[in-house]
Amino acid sequence: MEKQAFQKVYAKITNITKATVQLKAQGVGYDEIAMVHGRLGQVVKIIGENVTLQVFSGTEGIPTNAEVIFLGHPPRLKVSDQLAGRFFNAYGEPIDGGPEVEGEIRDIGSPSVNPVRRKQPSQLIATGIAGIDLNNSLVTGQKIPFFADPDQPYNQVMANVALRAEADKIILGGMGLSNDDYLYFKNVFDNAGALDRIISFVNTTENPPVERLLVPDMALTAAEYFAVDHNEKVLVLLTDMTLFADALSIVSNRMDQIPSKDSMPGSLYSDLARIYEKAVQFPAGGSITIIAVTTLSGGDITHAIPDNTGYITEGQLFLRRDTDIGKVIVDPFRSLSRLKQLVIGKQTREDHPQVMNAAVRLYADAANAKTKMENGFDLTDYDERTMKFAKEYSDKLLAIDVNVDTEEMLNITWELFQKYFTKAEVGIKQEFMDKYWKKEE
Amino acid sequence: MDKNKKTTGKVAGIIANLVIIDVDGPVAQNEICFIKHQETDLMAEVIKVLGNHAYVQVFESTRGLKIGTEAHFEGHMLEVTLGPGILSRNYDGLQNDLDKMEGIFLKRGDYTDPLDREKLWDFKPLAKAGDKVHAGDWLGEVDENTMPHKIMVPFKFEGAYTVKSVVPEGQYKVDDEIAVLTDSKGKDISVTMVQKWPVKVAIRAYKEKPRPFKPLETGVRVIDTLNPIAEGGTGFIPGPFGTGKTVLQHAISKQAEADVVVIAACGERANEVVEIFTEFPELDDPRTGRKLMERTTIIANTSNMPVAAREASVYTAMTIGEYYRSMGLRVLLMADSTSRWAQALREMSNRLEELPGQDAFPMDLSAIISNFYSRAGYVFLNNGATGSITFIGTVSPAGGNLKEPVTESTRKAARCFYGLSQARADSKRYPAIDPIDSYSKYLEYPEMQKYYEENVSENWLDGVITAKDILLRGKEAQEQINILGDDGVPIDFHERFWNSELIDFVILQQDAFDNIDCSTPMERQEYMLAKVLNVTKMKFDFKHFVDVQNFFKNIINVFKQMNYSEFQSDDFKKYEKELEKLLAEHVVEEVS
Ligand SMILES: Nc1ncnc2c1ncn2[C@@H]1O[C@H](COP(=O)(O)OP(=O)(O)OP(=O)(O)O)[C@@H](O)[C@H]1O
Ligand SMILES: [Mg+2]
């Protein structure tokens, strides 16, 4: 970032905290960025002449006579088709050794889409994973996170979903990504021959945590460019939003704000919503779909981060290891796609909603039977049958290594119904029974 | 707040959307000002005054704002514009018409007119020269989407007036003079179809506000049958995320017997508002056959829109509701979610460095919530006509914990509690209203009880109480079965449990996405409750608990088919016959 004539330069810092510096300056705009001792900072408070800057990479080693240069604009990104296939850091600077991107300069964190200019999401995203397509169908313009324990293979599942989703562009926003995971994404995309569709903004564990705060806005500014200017279907992957929220709390605690639940800032809901609400379907055909990861600590979803996320996103996908089959499955109980009813039974076969619900209900009966068994009670014949059903259902449909189309998923479910149950036990609308139930009773 | 010269000021401090302004004259708490940032005016509201520093919350992003920027104070509080043409519009939290804004993205300082100034309305006079009138009295009416929209004496008019003239029947624009009133001092005042009112002040142009005394039909069985809401009543729906608050509110706003529905989407998802925009213009109002959108106004301040305007949005919605109530209409007001409004208050209170209450919410949260709920209600207008605002808010408790401040405060203010249970939602028992914990205080009102006796049936309430009792006893039986095992309890424990399951599956559970099941008229609810209760009174010849399970699963299946069929249709009757056959196989004694 080169110096320009209109930039104001100061060299007298009055206060320094871990995350911020304060100095006397005039004519500074709120949200404006500045270089502080060669590091990027952003204006977070102005009282009279006193300007407080948040320094993204931390203030270690900054002296009071450090040079502060105000740049006169908020953080921004140059957008053009040259973004495709490139890897950037949180500031939007190339980290792949390639040239600077030429293009139109856009401020990041742009305004919201007028709700009346949105279109209702309506296009099914097929992933081949039945735990998603059958029970929790995704739709373009949706925002949905994986809620996963840190040891679960969420990045792998996400990469699979991204590649199968038939998106025009896939934008990866990596926050606190381990170097291994970063290289994993790079490899998978490369091997799939998809690199030219991928754009990555990456903050790894080696970078300062506060820099992460810029990553979602960078990724979404690029996403809006492709979705609005080119009417493309854009899929944005944000991993791990828990680390993003942690960075928010670092900043707010260092700025002495009153923390609310779990030492998160009181504005956590709004801060997260601002990002997730960028998911949108435009009438002209472009869309932004956000698939995120929120890692849980000890599976606790009442923690402020997953809790606020759940209130914002359109459902959530839980991964769980099913010890009966030794595979990771998409948990049908706690997972939910809120937008599935817009497409199931409409863009998929008519019996989809009822089949889905019946299977989950029977799966729940199996869980109850299992509890009974563990408590040493006798099982009824029905209990035995539900448990057998559950195991097969889990293996053939819920496991994340499944890759079949939705029609096939429904057929498999009907087969399982007929193998283990009577019509009354399945309890589906008569018209579908007549059509899909082949077994004599 | 009459001032000759407008107060002005200069920006002296900026902390996100809290801005400190150095003022040169008088300012009032909650006064509106505009900060002139480059070419745009950013609207803001005074929330604290310290000496010559006015602290204002800006209803927009303050990105790029600089010290020294000029501000102009308007001399009034945040107001809405009231007049014909509000129905079927989509506003933001400050009543800007979203459809009139240009471009895909919201632009700062893009304030648009809530009304259509050019449209001609068919006006009919209702008052005549010489009439004595007060604020809120009807001078005439226009036809707004077939609804009689009353043109009233502006609510700001204090004291008595005499009508000097009213224009004859004809077509007029909203800004045309439709009447001239003379005040007690003999001064003539011109009245148009448009008036303004500050949103944080309740409109009190009515004679009396009695206790609610009759139910408001919602078509949702678990509400109407078990815990009815009264017309003019208040209720709230707390529940963890994903348990069905929004789906339930949308269902109620589609089906309830209301003349006008105002939906405040307060800090929630934009796609949910889009769902209303998309569906309501297509769906029919079951009572009038008109499109649902024609009776609906949406106030959308979604979670990504400015936080300060989120707080304003619920007040904007309430004031519009009060306006239509004053016309003698039944208004249904929905706010989703009031927790987001409380969070907006919290964000600002923290920026102001006020002493925080529990969970960092402002100390007076409870008072603010109660004050808001108290604006709902059934009223007798000055001319004897009646109107009502029935208000239902959702609450999004942090961590699903009902002991948090917003839920606790709302519990004190609202009369119906529709608690959504995570366990019910997980097992897809929708709507997930917990049948045991939920309540309607209105069931205890003698006036409501009398209404049921006279308008539904003598023993309706007995049936309701019986059903609740069965649900409770079923739950107890289930706990015993879980502890002692299926074999470890007598067979009638199983019967007790399955009787409650029967009520659960047939009455409580309702498929919001099925065209028939989604809405059940009261007549059908009566019929089904009687039918179900009748089964619970029968004695059967079960030998083994497995018989109980199988039998009940079978009859529940048939009952559900009935729920999915048009009431009293051939299909419905076919299933009813099938049901009788199943019952006959096991029944040993019928009690009726
Ligand atoms: N009555 C119902 N019938 C069928 N499905 C339902 C019903 N109610 C809720 N659901 C399911 O639950 C999902 C979540 O419901 P909803 O959006 O109303 O939750 P919410 O309580 O408003 O959540 P949040 O607090 O996150 O806004 C829906 O998308 C739908 O799949
Ligand atoms: Mg909701």
Is the distance from the beta carbon of residue B239 to the nearest atom of ligand 1 less than 6 Å?
yes
Question: Which class is A9-70 in CATH?
Answer: mainly beta
Contacts of A305 in chain B (CB under 8 A): none
Q: Does B51 touch chain A (CB under 8 A)?
A: no
What is the DSSP code (8-state) at residue A114? Answer: P
Q: CB count, 10 Å around CB of B59?
A: 28
Closest CA to B360 of B373, B341, B346: B346
CA angle at residue A234 from A229 to A236, to 5 degrees? 125
How large is the C-alpha radius of gyration of chain A? 25
Q: Quick one: closest CA in B to A303, which residue?
A: B399
Nearest ligand, CA A314: 1
Could you check whether the bond before residue A94 is cis, i.e. omega within 30 degrees of 0? no
Q: Which of A144, A317, A338 to mutate to test the pocket of ligand 1 (most atoms within 8 A of CB)?
A: A338
- Please give the CATH architecture assigned to the domain spanning B460-589: Orthogonal Bundle (1.10)
Residues B540-571 as b/e (b if ≥16 CB within 10 A, e otherwise) read bebeebeebbbbbbbbbbbbbbbbbbeeeeee
| CB-based contact B557:B522 (threshold 8 Å) | no
Residue the block writes with tokens 């299946």: B557
Beta strands in A178-326 (DSSP E): 198-204, 233-239, 280-281, 287-295, 315-322
> How many Å lie between the alpha carbon of B557 and the closest alpha carbon of chain A?
6
Is the distance from the beta carbon of residue B241 to the nearest atom of ligand 1 less than 6 Å?
yes
> A78-107+140-313: same fold as A9-70?
no
Contact flag A111-B105 (C-beta cutoff 8 Å): yes
For A378-390, the pLDDT digits (tens) are 899 999 999 999 9
For B387-429, the pLDDT digits (tens) are 999 999 999 999 899 999 999 999 999 999 999 999 999 888 9
A78-107+140-313 is classed CATH 3.40.50.12240: yes
Q: Quick one: closest CA in A to B15, which residue?
A: A45
Which CATH number describes the domain made up of B8-77?
Answer: 2.40.10.170
For A79-136, the pLDDT digits (tens) are 999 999 999 999 999 999 999 999 999 999 888 999 999 999 989 999 999 999 999 9
| CB-based contact B328:B207 (threshold 8 Å) | no
Beta strands in A31-150 (DSSP E): 33-36, 39-47, 50-55, 68-70, 76-79, 87-88, 104-107, 124-125, 138-139, 143-148
Which CATH number describes the domain made up of B121-193?
Answer: 2.40.50.100
In terms of phi and psi (left: phi > 0; alpha: psi -120 to 50; beta: otherwise), the region of B399 is left
**Mean pLDDT, range A264-280, rounded to an integer:** 94
Q: What is the pLDDT of residue A40?
A: 93
Q: What confidence tier does B85 reach under pLDDT thresholds 50, 70, 90? A: very high
- What is the domain partition of chain A in residue ranges? 9-70, 78-107+140-313, 352-436
Inform me whether the pLDDT recorded for A58 exceeds 90: no
Token couple for B453 = 């006796």
Closest CA to A416 of A137, A134, A132: A134
Give the one of A277, A333, A353 whose C-beta lies nearest to B303's C-beta. Answer: A277
Reported pTM:
0.94
Q: What confidence tier does A4 reach under pLDDT thresholds 50, 70, 90? A: low
Q: What is the pLDDT of residue B1?
A: 45
Q: What is the pLDDT of residue A427?
A: 83
Helices (H) and strands (E) in chain B, counts: 14, 27
Lowest average pLDDT, out of A4-8, A226-230, B84-88, goes to A4-8
Residue the block writes with tokens 């100034």: B117
- Please give the CATH architecture assigned to the domain spanning B221-435: 3-Layer(aba) Sandwich (3.40)
What is the DSSP code (8-state) at residue A303? Answer: S
- What is the domain partition of chain B in residue ranges? 8-77, 121-193, 221-435, 460-589
Task: Give me the residues of B, 508-537, that contact A with CB < 8 A.
Answer: 513
| CB-based contact B572:B559 (threshold 8 Å) | no
Q: What is the pLDDT of residue A439?
A: 78
Inform me whether the pLDDT recorded for A1 exceeds 50: no
Contact flag A266-B343 (C-beta cutoff 8 Å): yes
Supply the ipTM of this predicted assembly: 0.92
